[in-house]
Each structure stands twice: as structure tokens, then as C-alpha cells.
């Protein structure tokens, strides 16, 4: 039987492009080469290139999601999406694949778009009785009133783009004077930003996926940043202590895992997700965000949690891919 040709889709148009490419390298390394013929497809703007071999690329034909090399045309059978940011995490690329009738690893268009916009996710989850921070949204051109912001969300607070990840453009604000500069910084990343009240507590993160055959509740990781909050340096440059499994009670662990599974079904997710939470006084679980294309770099949480669960990445990738067929 011929091997399925897999596109590991990475890159994207956001500040997270380099992180995405690192995730793609991990996925390529661990994908079952006996079963699949995988290629990294790098997307940036209108440039879609497939990495045919070391140092050699070929253009992707967007008419049918194929490429031709040395006179041989190959059509991709499947897309394993690991773009962190637009267009792979917000449903745009998923919409293209839907038109092409090509299965993919992530959530569908609506779920991707909903989770990518942190403010919309916040309000949706609040309506579903999931605990979230108080927040308000600003669009470029809105009047910025620091006093009104303080009345709404208090201090300290977080100011960040509604769309984006890896904490780009995110500032922890402690004083009134910091609000305007933080707003300007967030607007560098996106035309819409959100201001969110600060919650004091323990940060944890939890991965989950479900196939037609089973559900997998991954271990909970405790996140202890060495900086003010879990920013880019903490995420990717080692300035954080990550403890898997988290130092929490079995009862709290079970509640976190059950909530992740509940949110997965509420939103209608597919593939692997990772939810970030803050545990505040009284073991209250507060949702921070839902990541539908979680990082897969060597230092990322999902690979850590998979190893802690006694599983391996190769089997998990195979399980996700085969579930689509």
C-alpha cells in the first residue's frame, strides 16, 4: 500500500513564525516514516513552499494542494497543521482545506476562529458557566480612558492582543501610567486588544484529545515562571519551572482534566488541544485560553505531558492522523 503524503504545515504570518517552524521540526522527526511520506510546508503570505529535502524547496500549487519535483507531481493527502497564529490557528487555512476536501489535524473553522479570539472565547466560556477573568475589548481608534479601564478590570491587569500567542504584545500593567504604553504595544500585534483582570494563583496547563475510539486526558503541568508572568522568555528560553505532574491534589487534577474535556466538547474541538488555567483561592479553576495548535517544540508542554503519560509522540501523531480517515 502506498504511503499517505502528509503536509506538516508551519510558518504563518504572525510573530510566532519561528516557533511554528520549530514545532514542525519536532513533528517531522517523530512522524512514522514507514507509514507516511511527510514534508514540511512553509507558509508565509503568498509564499507556499514545500521542503523537499535538506536545502531544497518547491512551490505548492494552491489549486489542488500539490507540488511537483523532478517531474513527479505529488498531492497531499493530509495536513498536520502546526501554525501558531494566522492563518493556521484561526480557521483561515482550515477553510481552504475544507474547500480542497483534504482532512487536517486541528479544529474546524468555527472552533478555530472562536478559540483564537481571546475576547470572544472569554465571553463564550462565561456564558457556559466556565470561570474566566473580567475583561474588556478595545479596537484601534477607540478612546483610551485609563480610569475607566481601572474601574472595569482593576490593577494589576494584563493588556494583550485578542489574536495571537507566545505572549507577544502582552504586558502586565501595575500602574495607571503603564496603561497607554501597554495598549500601544498590544496594537503593534493586532487591531483589536483585550484588557483582562489579574488573577493571583497557580498556573497550570492541560492537554487533551479525543478520537472515535478513545479520549486521552494528559497529565496536568504546573507552570512556575521566573519572570513576572508566563511570557515568551519563559515559554521558549527556559525561564520557567515546569512540573509534570503538577503538585496538586488528585481531586483537583481530575476536575481540571474533566473541565478540559468538557470545553473540548462545548467548542467542538478536534485533534490535540491544550488549555491554560489559573487556580485561585479555594481551588477555583479559571480558564485563561484554549490552544488548538499547541506548541510541539522540544520544550513544549504537550510533548512533556505525552512522555509523562508513558506514551510517545509517534503513536499520538499516527492516532490523530488515522482518526481523520
User: What CATH superfamily classification does 135-197 receive?
Assistant: ATP-grasp fold, A domain (3.30.1490.20)
Q: What integer pLDDT is reported at residue 189 of this predicted model?
A: 84
Over the stretch 71-125, which tens digit does the pLDDT of each residue have? 999 999 999 999 998 999 999 999 999 999 999 999 999 999 999 999 999 999 9
Task: Write down the domain spans for the chain.
Answer: 4-104, 112-130+200-323, 135-197
Look at 267 and 165; give whichever has higher pLDDT: 267
Whose CA is closest to 114, among 232, 257, 10, 266?
266
CATH class in words for 112-130+200-323 = alpha beta
Over the stretch 20-52, which tens digit does the pLDDT of each residue have? 999 999 999 999 999 999 999 999 999 999 999
Fold entry, domain 4-104: Rossmann fold (3.40.50)
Q: What integer pLDDT is reported at residue 166 of this predicted model?
A: 47
Give me the mean pLDDT over the 276-289 stretch: 97
Q: What integer pLDDT is reported at residue 179 of this predicted model?
A: 94
Over the stretch 202-260, which tens digit does the pLDDT of each residue have? 999 999 999 999 999 999 999 998 766 545 554 545 567 899 999 999 999 999 999 99
Q: Is residue 130 predicted with pLDDT exceeding 60? A: yes
Distances (CA, A) of 38 to 27, 29, 48, 88, 153: 9, 10, 16, 18, 47
Q: Is residue 164 predicted with pLDDT exceeding 70? A: no
60/320 Cα distance (integer angstroms): 24
pTM (whole model) above 0.75: yes
Strands lying side by side in the sheet with 284-291: 240-243, 215-225, 202-210, 273-280, 284-291
162/180 Cα distance (integer angstroms): 17
Banded model confidence at residue 283, pLDDT cuts 50, 70, 90: very high
Give me the mean pLDDT over the 53-65 stretch: 96
Amino acid at each position: 500500500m502506498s504511503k499517505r503524503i502528509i503536509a506538516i504545515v508551519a510558518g504563518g504570518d504572525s510573530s510566532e513564525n519561528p516557533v511554528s517552524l520549530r514545532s514542525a521540526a519536532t513533528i517531522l522527526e517523530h512522524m512514522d516514516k514507514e507509514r507516511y511520506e511527510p514534508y514540511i510546508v512553509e507558509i508565509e503570505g503568498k509564499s507556499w513552499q514545500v521542503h523537499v529535502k535538506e536545502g531544497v524547496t518547491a512551490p505548492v500549487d494552491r489549486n489542488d494542494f500539490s507540488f511537483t519535483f523532478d517531474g513527479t507531481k505529488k498531492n497531499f493527502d493530509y495536513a498536520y497543521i502546526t501554525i501558531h497564529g494566522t492563518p493556521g490557528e484561526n480557521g483561515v487555512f482550515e477553510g481552504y482545506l475544507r474547500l480542497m476536501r483534504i482532512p487536517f489535524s486541528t479544529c474546524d473553522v468555527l472552533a478555530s476562529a472562536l478559540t483564537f479570539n481571546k475576547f470572544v472565547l472569554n465571553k463564550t466560556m462565561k456564558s457556559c458557566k466556565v470561570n474566566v477573568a473580567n475583561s474588556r475589548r478595545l479596537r484601534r481608534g477607540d478612546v483610551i480612558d485609563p480610569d475607566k479601564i481601572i474601574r472595569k478590570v482593576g490593577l494589576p491587569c494584563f493588556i494583550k492582543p485578542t489574536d495571537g500567542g507566545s505572549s507577544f504584545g502582552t504586558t502586565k500593567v501595575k500602574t495607571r501610567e503603564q496603561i497607554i504604553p501597554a495598549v500601544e504595544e498590544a496594537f503593534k500585534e493586532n487591531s483589536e486588544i483585550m484588557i483582562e483582570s489579574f488573577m493571583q494563583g497557580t498556573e497550570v496547563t492541560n492537554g487533551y484529545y479525543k478520537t472515535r475510539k478513545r479520549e486521552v486526558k494528559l497529565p496536568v503541568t504546573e507552570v512556575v515562571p521566573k519572570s513576572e508572568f508566563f511570557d515568551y522568555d519563559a515559554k521558549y528560553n527556559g525561564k520557567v519551572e515546569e512540573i509534570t505532574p503538577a503538585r496538586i491534589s488528585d481531586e483537583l487534577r481530575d476536575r481540571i482534566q474533566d473541565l478540559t474535556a468538557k470545553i473540548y466538547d462545548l467548542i467542538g474541538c478536534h485533534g490535540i488541544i491544550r488549555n491554560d488555567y489559573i487556580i485561585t483561592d479555594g481551588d477555583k479553576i479559571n480558564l485563561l485560553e484554549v490552544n488548538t495548535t499547541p506548541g510541539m517544540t522540544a520544550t513544549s508542554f504537550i510533548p512533556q505531558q505525552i512522555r509523562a503519560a508513558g506514551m510517545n509522540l509517534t503513536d499520538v501523531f499516527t492516532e490523530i492522523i488515522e482518526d481523520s480517515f
